[in-house]
Amino acid sequence: MSRFWNKTINETTPYVAGEQPKAGEKFIKLNTNENPFPPSPAVKKAITEFDTATLRLYPDTNATPIVEAVAEVEGVKPSQVFVGNGSDEVLALCFQTFFEKEPDTDLPVLTPEFSYSFYPVYEEFYNIRPKKIPLREDFRLEPSDYEGIANCGIAIANPNAPTSRAISLGDIAKICEANPDSVVLIDEAYAYFEENYETAVSLLPKYPNLCVVRTTSKSYSLAGMRIGYAIASEELIEGLLRARDSFNSYPVDRLAQAIGAAAIRDVDYHKKCREELLKTRKYTVGELRAIGFDMPDSSANFIFARPPKCIDAETLYKNLKAKGILVRYFKTPGINDRLRISIGTMEEMEQFIKTVKEEITNAENS
C-alpha cells in the first residue's frame, strides 16, 4: 500500500508468473508451458537478414508483416487480425474493449471457476464484475452453464489452463448462439496441442461476437519475443485498434514483426514440433498413470496431475524443486491437490519421471 498509488493500484492483486530461474541456476523447467524446441530456422534467417539501421524508425503500427502472415495461414482477411505485445496484452485490451466496467453496468463477465489466473487480475484492474462458472466433474466445462445468465461478456481459455481440458467447436458455437449480444473471447494459447486440432477461427463467419486470441509463445517457441494476436470480425478488430491507439500505438517492434511473420509462415516446422511434443506427452501421461497419478486427458502442452496418496502435491513440488526440477503448484482450494507439469523434451521428461519415481518410493517407505 502507498499513499502515492491511486485506488486501483492499491486494491489490485497483480498476476504472479511462474518462477524464472536466475542466471547460473540450472533447472529442468516444466513450470511455465514454454515450448521445449527451438524456434523455426526461418527465425534465425530473419534475424540474420534484419537491417538494424531501420531501428531508428518507429515500427509499422499495425504489425503488417505478422497480420499478413496470420491472414495467409488462417484464411482470413488482414482486417480481421490484430497484433499485440504478447497475448497477455491482447487479452488485456479485449477485457478493456469488450467488457463493461462498474458502475456503468452490474452485468458480470463469465469465466470458468478455474482458468487462466490473469483473468481475475484484468477484472479487478479494469473494475469489471466477475462471475465464475463452476466446472463439472473432472474439470469439464459444460456449455449450457453459460446460457441464460445476463452478462457483459465471456472469456474461456480453450484448452483451459491449468486443467488442460478442451471443449469442441460445437460447444463454442452453442455459447456464441446463447449470448449473441456479448463478445465470447476464446483464448487459444494451447489449441495447437489438441490431438485432433480444431480452431474456433472456422466459426467466425457465423458468429460476429466471437474473438479468438492466440500467442506465438507456446507452439511457435517465441515466448521470449512477446507476440500475440486476435482474429475476429472487422467490427471487433476496429474496437481493439481504438483501444490500442489510446494506450500504445507501437506495441510490436520491427525485429519482432520480422521474426513473428517468419515463424508463422513455417507451417512444416510448426507441425513437426507439435508431433514430437504430442509423442512426449503421451509417454509422460502413461508413465505417471502407471505409478498412481490421476489426470484428465490433456489437450495442451502440459498435464494437470494429482499425485498418489502417499505424497501431497505441495510436498512433491518442493522436493522436485530441491532436485532441480520446476513444476507449477497452485494453492487455490479445489486444485491445490495437483501439479501443472509442462511437457519438455523427451530427455527432460525421462529425467522427470525417474525423479518422481524416486520420490514416490521414498514416500511409500517413510
Question: Which CATH number fits the domain that encloses residue 243?
Answer: 3.40.640.10
Answer whether residue 306 is part of any domain: yes
| Residue 366 belongs to a domain | no
Residue 87 near residue 187, CB atoms below 8 Å: yes
**Same domain, yes or no, for 23 and 124?**
no
Average pLDDT over the chain, rounded to an integer? 96
Q: Does the residue 106 lie in any domain?
A: yes
Confidence band for 350, pLDDT divided at 50, 70 and 90: very high
Average pLDDT on 10-20 reads 87
Strands annotated E in the chain = 28-29, 81-84, 109-112, 130-133, 153-157, 184-187, 210-215, 228-232, 302-305, 325-326, 328-329, 339-342
Task: State yes or no: pLDDT of 24 exceeds 90.
Answer: no
Q: Say if CB 46 and CB 259 are below 8 A apart.
A: yes
* Residues paired with 28 in a beta bridge: 325
Percent helix, percent strand, percent coil in the chain, to nearest 5: 40, 15, 45
Whether residues 175 and 206 fall in one domain: yes
pLDDT in tens, 168-205: 999 999 999 999 999 999 999 999 999 999 999 999 99
pLDDT band, very low/low/confident/very high, at 15 (cuts 50, 70, 90): confident
What pLDDT is recorded for position 20?
84
- At 21, is the pLDDT very low, low, confident or very high (cuts 50, 70, 90)? confident
292-308: pLDDT as tens digits: 999 999 999 999 999 99
Please tell me the distance from the alpha carbon of residue 336 to that of residue 334, in angstroms, as a whole number. Answer: 6
For residues 220 and 70, what is the distance between their CA atoms, to the nearest angstrom?
A: 13
pLDDT higher than 90, residue 151: yes
The residue out of 201, 235, 266 marking a domain boundary is 266
33 Cβ contact partners less than 8 Å away, ≥ 6 residues apart: 18, 161, 190, 218, 300, 301, 302, 340, 342
Neighbour-count burial of 137, counting CB atoms closer than 10 A to its CB (0-12 exposed, 13-18 middle, 19+ buried): exposed
Mean pLDDT, to the nearest integer, of 224-243?
Answer: 98
**How much is the pTM?**
0.95
- pLDDT tens digits for range 74-131: 999 999 999 999 999 999 999 999 999 888 888 999 999 999 999 999 999 999 999 9
Q: What average pLDDT does range 48-73 have in this prediction?
A: 98
365 domain-assigned? no
336 and 276 within one domain: yes
User: Could you tell me the pLDDT band of residue 18, with boundaries at 50, 70 and 90?
Assistant: confident
Quick: pLDDT tens for 318-337. 999 999 999 999 999 999 99
Are 236 and 345 found together in one domain? Answer: no
Residue 150: pLDDT above 90? yes
The answer to whether residues 180 and 88 belong to one domain is: yes
Q: Judge if 34 and 73 occupy the same domain.
A: no
151/296 same-domain check = no
| CATH code, domain carrying 320 | 3.90.1150.10
Number of separate domains in the chain: 2
How much is the pLDDT for 226?
97
Domain hosting residue 122, numbered range: 41-266
**pLDDT for residue 286 is more than 80:** yes
Number of residues that this document lists for the chain: 366
DSSP class of residue 295 equals: -
Assess if residue 192 is contained within a domain: yes
Distance CA 41, CA 30 (A): 24
